[in-house]
């Protein structure tokens, strides 16, 4: 198997894991999240901001921005078919977003050492403006996402 083939195989596995997780995830489904890219150690997801995602200031509730990043983080850190959970997450809110905005979360793997991973997720709006920065720490546990 060439390096390119090997990478393709890893990315195929990542996609299968993400699809398996998301099809059983009522929360991400209810919020209308879409997986728009996926591969070994990275993921991209989108969500359109609905009225029921707004807070008392008429802007997107920070919790739902976090929820988008957290789902994207889960896809990236489970991409090697090793069950992995979030331990600790930090989110910094940069600017507000509004109803009908389309938010895109991009997750990349910053560190993977033994069972511990660090993933950085950036959330942007449809104009490419940064909405939030998220850093999540993951820890591998027993089990796999799919049987392979």
Q: What residues make contact with a copy of itself under the rule CB under 8 A?
A: 20-30, 51-58, 61-64, 66-71, 74, 85-95, 110-111, 113, 116, 118, 120, 130, 133, 135, 137
Question: Residue 6 or residue 98: which is nearer to a copy of itself going by CB?
Answer: 98
Kindly state the smallest distance separating residue 148's Cβ from a copy of itself, in Å. Answer: 17
Kindly state the smallest distance separating residue 65's Cβ from a copy of itself, in Å. Answer: 9
Alpha helices in 1-148 (DSSP H): 3-23, 26-30, 62-77
Question: Residue 6 or residue 144: which is nearer to a copy of itself going by CB?
Answer: 144
Pairing of strands 42-48, 34-39: antiparallel
Spatial contact of 90 and 135, defined as CB atoms under 8 Å apart: yes
Question: Residue 9 or residue 63: which is nearer to a copy of itself going by CB?
Answer: 63
Kindly state the smallest distance separating residue 23's Cβ from a copy of itself, in Å. Answer: 8
Burial code (b: 16+ CB inside 10 Å, e: under 16) for 73-107 equals bbbbbbbbbbebeeeebebebeeebeeebebbbbb
Residue 51 is classified by DSSP as G
Question: Residue 39 or residue 74: which is nearer to a copy of itself going by CB?
Answer: 74
Phi, psi of 115 (to 5 degrees): -85, -10
Kindly state the smallest distance separating residue 143's Cβ from a copy of itself, in Å. Answer: 10
């Amino acid at each position: 198997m060439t390096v390119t083939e090997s990478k393709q195989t890893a990315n195929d596995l990542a996609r299968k894991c993400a699809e398996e997780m998301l099809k059983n995830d009522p929360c991400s489904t209810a919020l209308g999240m879409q997986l728009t890219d996926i591969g070994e150690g990275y993921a991209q997801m989108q969500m359109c901001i609905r009225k029921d995602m707004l807070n008392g200031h008429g802007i997107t509730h920070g919790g739902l921005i976090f929820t988008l990043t957290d789902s994207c983080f889960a896809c990236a850190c489970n991409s090697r078919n090793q069950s992995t959970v979030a331990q600790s997450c930090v989110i910094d809110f940069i600017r507000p977003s509004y109803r009908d905005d389309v938010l895109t979360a991009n997750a990349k793997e910053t560190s993977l050492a033994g069972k511990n991973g660090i993933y950085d997720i950036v959330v942007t709006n449809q104009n490419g403006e940064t909405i939030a920065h998220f850093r999540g720490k993951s820890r591998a546990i027993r089990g796999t996402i799919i049987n392979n």
